[in-house]
Structure 1
Amino acid sequence: MTTLYFTTPAGNRLAYSAFGPVDGRPILFFHGGGQTRHAWGRAGEVVGELGWRAWAVDLRGHGDSDWVAGHYQSEDFTADALSIIKTLKQKPVIVGASLGGQTALLANAIEEVSAALVLVDITPRANPEGIKRILNFMTAHLDGFASLDEAGAAVAAYQPHRSQRANSDSLTRNLRRHADGRWYWHWDPNMLRGVIEQRQLQGPHHDEAHSERLYQVIEQLTQPILLVRGSESDVVSRDNLDEFKRRIPHARVVDVSGAGHMVAGDQNDVFLDAVLGFLKEV
């Protein structure tokens, strides 16, 4: 994937890869926390071949985008997204997983900036135990791994529903070897520390208020919406899914069997089928 860069008005650079014709209808892919734009490699290629202009973006602090210590609040990610969207000639479709989906919702809270929205295993109200499990996994390995095999074993333990262990190619897209010889996740550890500190300071009541704010946003959106959920997800529980269906009745929902929170990584073909079917409709 060729690395391109977009500089925001604030001066931080966002790395992205582009697919498809320059004049194609825009579609933006925003990954989840701790991931990189490489999570969307196959999806970008497929929609690009169909004539879309796809941008797979590394969020700030992730992958090849700039690390901006002390600036990893929701508002910072949202400002980055809006700075990209404002350069486009027409409203894009946005595909956002987890953190990327939340960022898309917050951008639309300011103005309905997308033509259609695909939320990948994220709803305005998510299961706090699932979020806690993600944070625990990320904090458990801030000191890196001695080898790619060790990293692969850690990922396999975190995702026991996957039948195949992550291979070296996929791991090196998300890990970097430092001068000490150890492999580290390719995101800024200060981002995670800031998130944890913010959650501890604000407490569960803030989470509830934030979730309700997101629901109030999405309830007002007129654009087509697709939720792609992993049936094995511990982030979007069955109760979370039922609430989403009740409050956003016009949204289309696809429950992907055998997939956990990282739907595209677990069942990429099924995920792509769902997204492509949605794109044909919109």
Structure 2
Amino acid sequence: MKVRIWFKGASGNRLAVDLSGAGSAPTVVLLHGGGQTRHSWARAHQILAEKGYRAVSVDARGHGESDWVEDGDYSLEAQVADLLAVIKALGGSPPALVGASMGGTHSLVACGRYPDIAKALVLVDVTPRLEPQGIEHILGFMTQHPDGFASLEQAAEVVGAYNPNRPPPSDLSGLAKNLRQRDNGRWYWHWDPRFIAGNHLEKVAHISQTMAAAAATIQIPTLLVRGRQSDVVSPEGVEELRHMLPLAFVDIEGAGHMVAGDKNDRFNAAIIDFLREHHPLPQEQQTDTGL
């Protein structure tokens, strides 16, 4: 059964977490991209729990139901500190980390700086080389419609225009989890606008440099799942990362930057195969050793 619980981040901020599975099972922590929420992992979370893992989906600070921090600190360093706080609160053996875009950045940097915090790492369409046109595409989407939407249907049309790889949803309840309806009747994205404040070029340069430095120190098994139609991660970016760390790689046809949402079944199959090898369930460990 999935339960919603609260953890404390590095600043004493509340982090909303969905948790499923036994406490003794191998843990997989799912970290969403910028502007998303933990609900973007709904199907992957369910599949991992059904397979026998302890699945943990986290709303990053300033996103979803997690606190908007008073000082507006949404820096890479603050987000990594939150991730460390979550891992400490979970206890037990080190988890596997699965991070999409922003969540992958935090996971990569955390694993590079603190080698023992995770058993395996899955990066979802993110590398130290971030293609400028893809970043501008994301920022353009996140900063348009500051006055919100008249309806969920209008918001769905905007999402469809941004992401043509994915068919429009027939059920808007999932989209509604990323928006909040205010007293004026309009719907607004539910993340702190200060999250994308400041000089974007400087931020991206800092993130890329920090990721590259961290990648050079990582020794744990790492999988990169790329959407073949992604405008954020290029083949050149993949090759650069291959030279930085031991890397397994899956390129998913028909998926863009939002890989898990675009081709969910293929994405789930890829990460389950990787986790079975590098973060196995107890019965699989017994099979591997011939017990």
Identify whether the pair has TM-score above 0.5, normalized to the shorter chain: yes
Please report how far the alpha carbon of residue 215 of structure 1 lies from its aligned counterpart in structure 2 after TM superposition. Answer: 2.0
Q: Compared with structure 1, are the counterparts of its residues 255 and 180 closer, same or farther at alpha carbon in structure 2 (3 Å cutoff)?
A: same
Q: Which shifted more, 8-17 or 132-141?
A: 8-17
Contiguous gaps of at least 5 residues in structure 2: 279-291
Contact 1:152–1:167 (Cα < 8 Å) also in 2: no
Matches within 5 A, 1:76-225: 76-87=78-89, 88-112=91-115, 113-165=117-169, 167-193=171-197, 197-199=198-200, 202=202, 207-208=204-205, 210-225=207-222
- Could you say which residue in structure 2 is the equivalent of 1:45? 46
How far is the alpha carbon of 1:117 from its aligned partner?
A: 0.1
The answer to whether the 8 A contact 2:112-2:217 is kept is no
The C-alpha deviation readout for 1:174-216, integer Å capped at 9, x for no partner, is: 11111110011111112122xxx1425x3xxx74464243223
Displacement of 1:238 in angstroms is: 2.0
Q: What amino acid is the match of 1:218? A: A
The alpha-carbon distance between structure 1 residues 75 and 270, as it changes in their structure 2 partners (threshold 3 A), is: same
Deviation at 1:167, TM superposition (A): 3.3
Matched residues in 2 for 1:198 and 1:4: separation? 34
Contact persistence 1:26–1:54 (CA under 8 A): yes
Distance in 1 of aligned mates of 2:200 and 2:166: 30
Match of 1:233 among 230, 235, 243: 230
Q: Tell me the number of residue pairs that the alignment of Structure 1 and Structure 2 aligns.
A: 274
How many angstroms apart in 1 are the aligned matches of 2:108 and 2:214? 7
Deviation at 1:142, TM superposition (A): 2.1
Aligned counterparts of 1:132 and 1:163: Cα–Cα separation in 2: 23
Partner secondary structure for residue 256 of structure 2: coil
SS at match of 2:134: helix
Alpha-carbon distance in 2 for matches of 1:123, 1:145: 33
Question: Alpha-carbon deviation of 1:4?
Answer: 1.4
Secondary structure of the 1:118 match is strand
Q: Greater shift after overlay, 98-107 or 45-54?
A: 45-54
- 1-structure distance, mates of 2:16, 2:86: 11
Pick which of 130-139 and 209-218 moved more: 209-218
1-structure distance, mates of 2:171, 2:145? 18
Q: Distance in 1 between matches of 2:11 and 2:144?
A: 32
Equivalent position of 2:275 in the other structure: 279
Distance 1:109 1:54 in 2: 23
TM superposition outliers: structure 1 runs of 4+ over 6 Å: none
2:77 is the counterpart of 1:75:
yes
1:94 alignment partner, SS class: strand
SS of alignment partner, residue 243 of structure 2: helix
Q: Secondary structure at the match of 2:216?
A: helix
Using the aligned pairs only, state the percent identity: 45
State the distance in 2 between where 1:222 and 1:241 align: 17
CA distance in 1: counterparts of 2:259 and 2:232, whole angstroms: 12
Question: Which residue does 1:18 correspond to in 2?
Answer: 19
For the residue of structure 2 that corresponds to 1:22, the secondary structure is: coil
* Structure 1 unaligned regions, length at least 5: none
The Cα offsets for residues 72-125 of structure 1, whole Å up to 9 and x where unpaired, read as 111111110011112322111000000000011121232112110000000011
CA distance in 2 between counterparts of 1:60 and 1:272 reads 25
Q: Summarize deviations over 1:152-182 as a string: whole Å, max 9, x none.
A: 1100110122233463112112111111100
* Aligned-residue offset at 1:54: 1.1
